[in-house]
A and B are shown apart, each in its own frame.
Chain A
Amino acid sequence: MNTENLKKTGRKKRVSQTIAFMTFRMMSLLIVLLLIVILAFIVVRGAGAISWDFITKMPADGMTAGGIMPAIIGTLYLVAGSMLFAFPIGVMSGIFINEYLKDGLIKRFITMMTNNLAGIPSIVFGLFGMALFVNKLKFGDSIIAGSLTLGLLALPVVIRTTEEALKAVENSFRDASFALGASKWYTTRKVVLPIAFPNIITGLILSVGRVSGETAPILFTVAAYFLPKLPNSIFDQVMALPYHLYVIATSGTKVEESRSMAYGTALVLIVIVLIVNLSANALRRYFHKKVKMN
């Protein structure tokens, strides 16, 4: 091959690389653009609806006016309830899988089941929650039924992040503790958990984000269409933000009039997700730095 030809193929190679890279950059940029469009759409139109009254008042006039306070409170209850259930069990489960189980058939099986649970569609959780908690255990449509259903959905997230957090703890810490005569449980409690703790908390925050936006699991377990009062016990129904958005966006009698309410509700949901994501990121970065400094 003469030099002329070599130069030619070289140029061709470079040109195709430039084209390909440009395309990829453009397509990645489009995704960023997409996020901006979605956020801008909701923030710009929702900002007009947001006011102190919107957050603190009951809905009024067939949900075309007033606020969304009961839905916010309802979602808070559901998040708290589901985390109360999922967090301790999830963390313990993660500890058991990572610290106590040896590699083998049982560990593979349990990991597989956790992955399976994570892959089950949220509407199936809704069906299950209705069959078990609402009907079989006779909780009725209630905060406790909804919380348990949502907790079950969040469980794999908590377990996985706990596992990841524990895996990141170097074995030398464990070995040192064992060498000093500490038991496994003592080592886990006093050495491994404190190191892994920030990452576990990140998992908790992320699952809060997930739970607060879920609609399908609460459709038949807790969510009320319109309930302008606050719950008295865990056996009461509540309104919830995502379900409220669904209802006023699609099936209200005055869909057009309640549009601004819908934008406002969507904005509140987005803000929750933003806060959750940002704080999880900030926490991660903060502890990352701290670990490095040590």
Chain B
Amino acid sequence: MEGLLFLSGTVTSLAVLLIIVFLFKEASGIFSKRPVEQGYVLVVNTANPVNEISAPEIKNVFDQKVTHWDEVGGNKDTIMLFRIDDIEMYFTEEQIGENFEFLPQSIGKLVDSIPNIIAFVPEKYYSAEFGGKILEVKRITPLGFIRGREWFPTAQPAAQFGVLPLILGTLLVSFFAILFALPFGLATAIYLAEISDSRIRSWLKPVIELLAGIPSVVYGFFGLIIIVPLVQKLFNLPVGETALSGSIVLAIMALPTIITISEDAMRTTPREMKEASLALGATKWQTIYRVVIPYSISGISAAVILGIGRAIGETMAVLMVTGNAAIIPHKLTVPVRTIPATIAAELGEAPQGGIHAEALFALGCILFIITMIINLTVEFISKKRKSARI
């Protein structure tokens, strides 16, 4: 029996370990695969000096933002795009064959005859013996993943996995959520810890617990029905699903965390300290902001950090009210997309084991690392508090 106790004592450590292993294992695939559309290849003329191209470059080429080969490391020729549908412009139906049996030859011939071509064709219609060479797509690097500015996981010809807009979206929404929540949270904590009598406290505490207990999807629903239209009307926006709506909903959700933890911290202020201050002629308010708050400042900062952690990891409410546009946000009144919302919205559609699913697991890793750092910071702060008190 006692052995069983020991086993269950290790279960959380085991769980954390397993989470790390599975998350990172599933995510690691993204850095070993090439982000080109499954079953398709990019083919160029054999004389083309370019052998490899990155996914963002492909997007620019096919969006015609990049029009010359020298911009992607080749010679000075303009780039000629070729998609499989364009085949009829060059060959008749007879030349291709009824069942496309001569298509590989045709494509080979075409690529051989046009030196500046880039052809995006199904893999089965390409064969090296008929001419042309495969233009390899560069693997995604961790740095490219973090710094990439475009998130189009299902784009053709190459999926774009740039997390920067998602990271910035998450930070923006969470930061403003805490900014909104902090004054109210602190005021309530001070009120609870120092000002209110026990009667008020005894019903204000359950109210806050209740706020903490409401499921996030209900907050999301509330935000969708009340806050989104309100934001839209107030700021005269085309859509109300914005970073601001997300911040407001998250602020409400972060309140209980901030209130309870900072109230607990304020309550640990020794009575003698407060009484000494009052005895010197300070008012209660002066005592609060000169003695109680400085004494409990590390606990308050722990509350703030934990609140940020909650906000960063929150999924459903944010998913429902922020509009989910993966663009780098420049202001609060535009739609944004956060990391958790992206995972929740896309994992259902991403084929299992594909690069898209792996990218979402990589997002999970980023989230995990952020929250781990936050937890360790809080741990560090509270340990320092304990040793400082002794």
Binding site for B on A (CB under 8 A): 13-14, 16-17, 20-21, 23-25, 27-28, 30-32, 34-35, 38, 41-42, 88-90, 92-93, 95-97, 100-101, 109-110, 112-117, 119-128, 130-132, 135-136, 152, 155-156, 159, 185, 206, 209-210, 212-216, 219-220, 242-243, 245-246, 249-250, 262, 266, 269-270, 273-274, 276-277, 281
Contacts and interface: CB of A to CB of B under 8 A. Distances in A.
A24 B313 contact: no
Interface stretch (B42-50, B155-163, B202-210): B202-210
Nearest to B343: A123
B343 A117 contact: no
B220 A246 contact: yes
A13 B287 CA distance: 11
Contact of B187 (A27, A116, A128): A27
Nearest to B18: A132
Contact of A121 (B6, B214, B371): B371
Given A92-B8, A113-B13, A155-B15, A281 B206 contact: yes
Interface in B171-229: 183-184, 187-188, 190-192, 195-196, 204, 206-211, 213-222, 224-226
B315 to A, nearest CB: 4
Interface of B: 1-2, 4-6, 8-13, 15-16, 18-19, 22-23, 25-26, 183-184, 187-188, 190-192, 195-196, 204, 206-211, 213-222, 224-226, 252, 255, 259, 283-286, 288, 306, 309, 312-316, 320, 340, 343-344, 347-348, 352, 360-361, 364, 367-368, 371-372, 374-376, 378-379
A245 B206 CA distance: 25
Ordered nearest first, which 9 A-B pairs have the shortest CB separation? A121-B313, A213-B215, A96-B9, A17-B285, A27-B187, A92-B8, A113-B13, A216-B315, A96-B5
A113 B283 CA distance: 43
Given A28-B187, A119-B374, 8 more contacts: A20-B285, A23-B187, A27-B183, A113-B13, A121-B367, A126-B347, A246-B220, A273-B213
Contacts of A13: 283, 285-286
B316 A246 contact: yes
Given A122-B313, A209-B213, A273-B210, A28 B192 contact: yes
A112 B383 CA distance: 11
B218 A42 contact: yes
Contacts of A214: 215-216
Given A34-B252, A128-B18, A135-B352, A249 B224 contact: yes
22 contacts: A14-B283, A27-B183, A27-B188, A30-B184, A31-B255, A93-B8, A93-B11, A119-B371, A119-B372, A121-B315, A122-B313, A123-B315, A123-B344, A127-B23, A127-B364, A213-B216, A214-B215, A215-B217, A216-B315, A242-B217, A269-B215, A281-B206
Given A38-B214, A270-B218, A273-B213, A124 B19 contact: yes
Nearest to A16: B285
A283 to B, nearest CB: 13
Contact of A92 (B4, B23, B191, B312): B4
Contacts of B219: 38
A282 to B, nearest CB: 11
A114 to B, nearest CB: 4
Contacts of A262: 221
Contacts of B207: 31-32, 35
A148 B211 CA distance: 26
Nearest to A96: B9
B380 to A, nearest CB: 10
B180 to A, nearest CB: 12
A279 B368 CA distance: 34
Nearest to B26: A131
Contacts of B4: 92
B182 to A, nearest CB: 11
Contact of A120 (B252, B306, B371): B371
Contacts of B374: 119
A51 to B, nearest CB: 20
Nearest to A93: B8
A216 B213 CA distance: 16
Contact of B379 (A14, A115, A273): A115
A217 to B, nearest CB: 9
A24 B5 contact: no
B242 to A, nearest CB: 16
A242 B214 CA distance: 11
Given A95-B5, A100-B2, A220-B348, A273 B15 contact: no
Given A28-B192, A100-B5, A213-B215, A124 B368 contact: yes
A276 B212 CA distance: 12
A29 to B, nearest CB: 9
Given A41-B222, A122-B315, A213 B12 contact: no
A127 B343 contact: yes
B222 A38 contact: yes
B287 to A, nearest CB: 10
Contacts of B204: 28, 32
A245 B217 contact: yes
Contacts of B340: 121, 123, 216
A102 B149 CA distance: 50
B207 to A, nearest CB: 5
A31 B208 contact: yes
Given A24-B195, A156-B12, A245 B315 contact: no
A31 B211 contact: yes
